[in-house]
Amino acid sequence: MVIEQYTITTTPKYNFPQPTIDTTLPQRFLEQSIRSLKQVQPQRFQLNQQPFQQYNTYEQHPSHLRLNHTPITLKANHQETTIAAVDTSTIKIGETATGIIIAIRGATTWKQSRRYHYTRLGPFIFHITEENKNEVYNTLEKAYFNTYYNSNRSASPHLTQMPTRLASLLERWLQIILAKTVSHGLILFDGSLTSGTFDTPVQRMKEILSLARKNKNIVLAFSKMTSLRVNGYLITEQLPKHEPPYLLETTGLRFKSPMIPLGDVYVARLNKAKYAFRLDIDRETPLQQRMTAIEKLLGNDLYMQGYPETLRLSHILCTFTANEVLAIKHFITRKHGIQIINRPDMHKLLFGPFGKGEIYS
């Protein structure tokens, strides 16, 4: 399989597949990370007082959506197929007087010859300020698309959105790497195939899907949570009394501009666990190939609560544990001399045990 045919060139620090893919982005990530951390020196640093929040994208409500309650029955196809998945994670480590310190990490996982393998990239640590946020983002955008992010200041992302933006950049880059390097496989994305947001520009998503198709891959996007509703009920909670595995088809999915769905939406219940997930399949994929793809997924991957293990591993591997957050704090204190200060947590100060922090308020 292509994944194991990378030509790896040793660099002083780490290996990246060199000839076939663009390695500019991770190098820029590293450069920007170090550069931004140097800017924080010798500022004092306020630990993040909120519970660790790992950001996810969310979707807008479409109209005219219909759900076909007739299940499309599936049968596991055990023909050996590479399953690959990608996920990224970001976390706010703390605040400085001028900005925030964040960490980003991505992971690709693939199942080949009945064994799981992974590549984990990061963590990259950034000090993002109002001053450097455009520079950081634009440098990475340029490394990725060779284009600048919208130079109009009013459209630039808010400081608090920067972690998700940077993580999305890394995620798209990892998706494109899989699309280029895997062939005749199934590529699993975390989330949907809806494009047109800052994080998922239409052109970028189209390119990824096109690359995947070029290599005979099929892209399947699983959403852990969905807000899509039919008749007021979530589509994943309208399951027929039918023996899984099966799919439910939806039709009439349309979003308000500029959002465009690049996949057809299904509800997938892949095993007897009572959970079903929104599944987006590349629209350009012929119907028969879609069903074969899902059946190959059933025959080649494991399922925990009806969710593909490869994708679950990607998520698990990129997620930051509390231990890692402590280690990152240790790193920035030791390597960059950032002194930790204890600024009072106003929520706790004012509300005592009721002060749970902003995200709950």
Partner 1 sequence: MKLYKKEGTILQILSFSNENAEKGDYLLVEDPDARKALIAQVIDVQFASIPGVLEELLRTLPDGGVPIQGEDIDPLEIAPHITYIQDASLLVCKIRATLENEMISPSSSWLPSRSQSTIRKLSVPMLMKLANVEGTRPIILGGTKDSSLLTIDAASLDGRLNIITGKKECGKSHLSKLLMVSLIGYKATVVIFDLNGEYSSIGMTADGKRNLHYHKIHALTPSQNFKVALKQLHLNVVMGILIHALHLPGTSAREFRRIWKTLKDQGDLTLSALGEAIRNLNCNQHVRDALTSRYHAIVNSGFFTDNLAEATLLEESLLKSKEEGGAIVINLRNTSTIDRQILVEYVLGKLVDSLQSWKLKAVFLFAEEAHLYLRETYWDDIVTRMRHFGIFTTFITNQPDTIRESIYRQADNIFLFNFTNEHDLDVVSRAARVDAETVRSIARDLPLHHCLTLGKVVRDFPIVARVRTLDVKTMGETRLFFKDKN
State the residues that interact with partner 1 by CB under 8 A: 13-16, 26, 29-30, 33-34, 109, 115-125, 309, 313, 316-317, 319, 321-328, 330-331, 334
Whole-angstrom Cα distance, residue 13 to residue 169?
A: 22
Q: Which is nearer to partner 1, 147 or 321 (CB)?
A: 321
Q: Which is nearer to partner 1, 14 or 231 (CB)?
A: 14
Smallest distance, Å, CB 73 to partner 1?
Answer: 29
Q: Which is nearer to partner 1, 274 or 330 (CB)?
A: 330
Smallest distance, Å, CB 329 to partner 1?
Answer: 9
Residue 35 near residue 127 (C-beta atoms within 8 A): no
Quote the tokens at residue 337: 């001399």
Q: What is the dihedral of CA 26, 31, 34, 37, to 10 degrees?
A: -100
Q: Which is nearer to partner 1, 125 or 235 (CB)?
A: 125
Q: Which is nearer to partner 1, 120 or 214 (CB)?
A: 120
What is the 8-class DSSP label of residue 60? P
- β partners of residue 73: 246
Smallest distance, Å, CB 298 to partner 1?
Answer: 18
- Residue 55: name the closest of 297, 342, 318, 344 by CA: 318
Contacts of range 353-357, beta carbons closer than 8 Å, 24 or more positions apart: 356/51, 357/49, 357/50, 357/51
Residue 292 near residue 10 (C-beta atoms within 8 A): no
Smallest distance, Å, CB 14 to partner 1?
Answer: 4
Smallest distance, Å, CB 24 to partner 1?
Answer: 14
Smallest distance, Å, CB 87 to partner 1?
Answer: 13
Smallest distance, Å, CB 30 to partner 1?
Answer: 5
Cis upstream peptide for 261 (omega within 30°): no
Burial (CB count within 10 angstroms: exposed 0-12, middle 13-18, buried 19+), residue 205: buried
Smallest distance, Å, CB 31 to partner 1?
Answer: 10
Q: Strands 44-47 and 339-341: what pairing?
A: parallel
Q: Which is nearer to partner 1, 116 or 145 (CB)?
A: 116
Quote the tokens at residue 45: 């640093």
* Burial readout 17-38 (b: 16 or more C-beta within 10 A, e: otherwise): beeebbbebbebbeebbebbbe
Q: Which is nearer to partner 1, 117 or 347 (CB)?
A: 117
Smallest distance, Å, CB 313 to partner 1?
Answer: 6
Residue 182's alpha-carbon distances to 2, 42, 109, 299, 309, in angstroms, are 5, 45, 12, 18, 18
Q: Which is nearer to partner 1, 176 or 193 (CB)?
A: 176
Quote the tokens at residue 75: 């049968």
Q: Which is nearer to partner 1, 64 or 115 (CB)?
A: 115
